[in-house]
Amino acid sequence: MLLIIENISIARDHRAQKQIKALIAAGYRVGLICRGDKTNARFRRRAGLRLYEYPAPPEREGAVFVAFEYGYSLVAAVVLIIRAWVDGPVHAIQAGQPPDIYFLPGLSTKLFGTRFIVDQRDLSPEVYAARFGKRNGPVVRTLRALERASWRAADHVLTVNSSLVRVVESRGGLPPERVSVIGNGPWLDAVSARKADESLREGFQHLVCWHGVMGPQDRVELGLGAIAHYAHDLGRRDALFVFMGDGVAAPALRELARELEIEDVVRFTGWLAEDACFTYLASADLGLDTNLEPEVTPVKGMEYMGHGLPIVAFDLHETRVLAGEAARYVPAGDSERMAQEIAELLDSPDERRRLGRIGRERIEQEFAWDRQQERYLEVYDHVLSREGR
């Protein structure tokens, strides 16, 4: 099996890590094409896994630079697919999308019997609209054409929630049997019995965490706006807010924190290893989600819930489907209301514990990867059985 991820290294892609672990445990030989990064070192030594890495393209704002990044990554992937074929037969290629461009080499390899599976994590037109503010025009039409071509070329499409299933079936014209929901929850043993580290609070009474990729579409600035309301309008300096992650928006976010005069209560850690990230979550009182895309299931929300953390999030369909009563919801984009909900929950330890228990139970019973991996492997068994493999 050959997996392709474009916009992140394997060390920072928890979904791909879980998929690889499941495939190797099931007896598959696995290769992975991804950006090179020093943090990938431990995966280069992983039994059953072969990494095919390429130098990361420069990340800069603007549609022209994004187009260059995707084109460069596609060419690099084609070269590495050929190298993987030299190392041995490739029975299936799985592309993590967006970008929806890997159907091009996928179609070529299908001539040799290789199966093509799409792991659709987000929707390119919607991500473009969130990032650049444009919902119509030639770029959007091109993105729609690429996603449709990718879905039509795929032997099977994986999605992270039912909203994406409906989009794939309607915009791609795929029958239901060719689309499956494979959730993105954490391994239960990765979030269980992890010890809190009180030193991470840096002397503050409360610790509030956000983590993930910091792109323009992730709307982290709304979280910073909420913190500014919390600190200045509510007059509270009792909580430390930690943002774990990185991305093209990170420099602007650090500058915004300075402009809002909240540097004393905000920390940007950059990328952290999973152990360090999960130790923060085990030590925290609350998790924040700033997503504004209604079709997106927040992975960070599942990891918050796995650690028994209540969530404050914007009121969106898939966020409610995921968190249910484990979160407090505020109107989309309302930073002031978010600040008020943060304050109320931090002042209510019993309510935090109640919401945390609900979230943990939802992860254990439904969303944990321990539950999802069975369906994931069933997809591979089904797709490859068409060739009698």
pLDDT at 250: 93
Cis previous bond, 98, omega within 30: yes
pLDDT at 64: 80
Rounded Cα gap, residues 78 and 54, in angstroms: 11
CATH architecture assignment, domain 2-185+369-385: 3-Layer(aba) Sandwich (3.40)
pLDDT for the residue numbered 132: 79
Domain ranges of the chain: 2-185+369-385, 188-367
Q: What is the pLDDT of residue 342?
A: 98
Q: What is the pTM of this model?
A: 0.83
- Prior bond to 99 cis, omega within 30? yes
Q: Establish whether domains 2-185+369-385 and 188-367 are of one fold.
A: yes
**What is the pLDDT, as a whole number, of residue 139?**
87
pLDDT (0 to 100) of residue 387: 47
Q: Which CATH superfamily is domain 188-367 in?
A: Glycogen Phosphorylase B; (3.40.50.2000)
Question: What does the pLDDT profile of the chain (389 residues) look like in tens digits?
Answer: 999 998 888 988 889 999 999 999 999 999 999 999 888 988 998 999 999 999 988 777 767 878 888 899 999 999 999 999 999 999 999 999 899 999 999 888 888 889 999 999 989 998 888 777 778 889 899 999 999 999 999 999 999 998 899 999 999 999 999 999 998 888 888 888 678 999 999 999 999 999 998 988 899 999 999 999 999 999 999 999 999 999 889 999 999 999 999 999 999 999 898 889 999 999 999 999 999 988 888 889 999 999 999 999 999 999 999 999 999 999 999 999 999 999 999 999 999 999 999 999 999 988 999 989 999 999 999 999 854 44
